[in-house]
Structure formats: structure tokens, C-alpha cells
Amino acid sequence: MNAAPAPRSETEASGQHDGGYTGPARHVAIIMDGNGRWAKKRLLPRAVGHKRGVDAVREVVRAARHMGLEALTLYAFSSENWKRPEDEISDLMGLLRAFIRSDIDEFAANDVRLKIIGNYKVLPADIVAMIEDALARTAHNSRTTLAVALNYGSQQEIARAAAAAAAKGEVTVATIEAELDTADMPPLDLLIRTSGEVRLSNFLLWQAAYAEMWFTDVLWPDFTPGHLREALDHYATRERRYGGR
């Protein structure tokens, strides 16, 4: 779906661009789509696709840290995903438990701060406890922030933020932004969606107002650090005008 990015000039690589180039991406978000289709193509249960998707998450998080990203936000479970069959939700919750257990030590050792956006407190009590322990263990890490969207919906987030701003007496762009789940993160630079779908699916609607978009036909379990690098290289060739000329 995406043409190969043009070679970067020395000017672009140095972070200087005549038309509004603003340097390397600091914050990347990914809609991780295609686990079910990956499994279906191989005549495997959807649960296998989700498990392979978790493996891809692990590799991409490591790559983001090595590539110097300040923040990576992953759409793991939307507020609409509760409509899925109960057995699939149960599988996803089991994978979330396993991921936290297996990866939190690596996060802690490598200066990765875990952050959750969305209302995770409605998840099963044992998962909430695991998440809160992981948040506490990594709270002071600063090299990379990994934000995981759990029970997240952007329209709901914006409504909550606007209500909170109103309760404090003033509703402006700045006061709403201060109440968003991502308020302590860098502005979103690049939003990636896998699997060939070209929509935002209620993800970071406010934050994506001026973010660059990169869509790929690659199904999420097949998404590699090389694909992330391709997206970042393509981002580096773009001119961000923010409404200007």
C-alpha cells in the first residue's frame, strides 16, 4: 500500500528541512490489526494469531527503545472489543497476564516506563493488581514510555477531558489537552496501522490531529522492527506544516 520511501538527503538526515521538517519522531502510536486474519490464512485458531501478535509487540518495543523513541503507544484492547466472543476476550486477558509476568523485569532493567491509557480498572481484579505493580515498578524510568491502550476509546477520553476542564472552570484546547490520558507524553508524531485497514477506529483522535499516518498491508503478527524503521524513514521525508504553507 505504501511506496518505498525516497532516499533521504543529507539535509533531511541532519534534521533540517526547508518545508517544515521537524526532526526524528519522538512519539509513535500503532493500531495493531490483523491477528485474526493472520491465523485464518493459516487455518489456525484466532488465539494463535493473538499469541503471535504478542511476540511482535515484544520485538517492536525493544526496537523502539533501540531506535531512540521517547514514547510508543499501542492499541491493545478498545472499549468496543468487549463485543467480541467471551472465549476470545478470555484468551486476550490470559495473554495480557502472561505478557506482564514475562516482560516487566525487562522493562524495569532497561529504563522503560509502562503507562496505561483507558479505564483498565474494569479488567479482572488480578490483572488490575499486576498492572498497578508494574506501573509502580517502572514509574521512575525515563528512557522510553510504553503506553498500552486498554479498555480505551478516544471519544470517551475526549469527553472525560472536556468535563474535567469544565469542572476546573475553562474549556480550551490547552485545558482539554491537560486532562487527556497522554498529557505527560510528547505530542504524537506518527500513527501506524497494520493489515490494510485505513481508519483510526476511535484511537487517539485528538492526539492525531496533526500526526503523520502510515498504513501497511502487513498483518500485525508479521510486523517487524524493519517495518517500524521503514515507517520512521518515510516519516523523516515528510514536511509537517501544521496548517501553514
> Catalytic residue numbers?
33, 81
Task: List the grid coordinates of 63.
Answer: 526496537
Question: If DSSP codes are grouped into helix, strand and coil, which group holds residue 43?
Answer: coil
Closest CA to 6 of 244, 243, 238, 242: 238
Please calculate the CA angle 90-47-196 and round it to the nearest 5 degrees. Answer: 115
Q: Give the type of residue at 37.
A: R
Distance CA 60, CA 65 (A): 9
Contact indicator for 147, 72 with CB cutoff of 8 Å: yes
Note the maximum CA span of the chain: 56
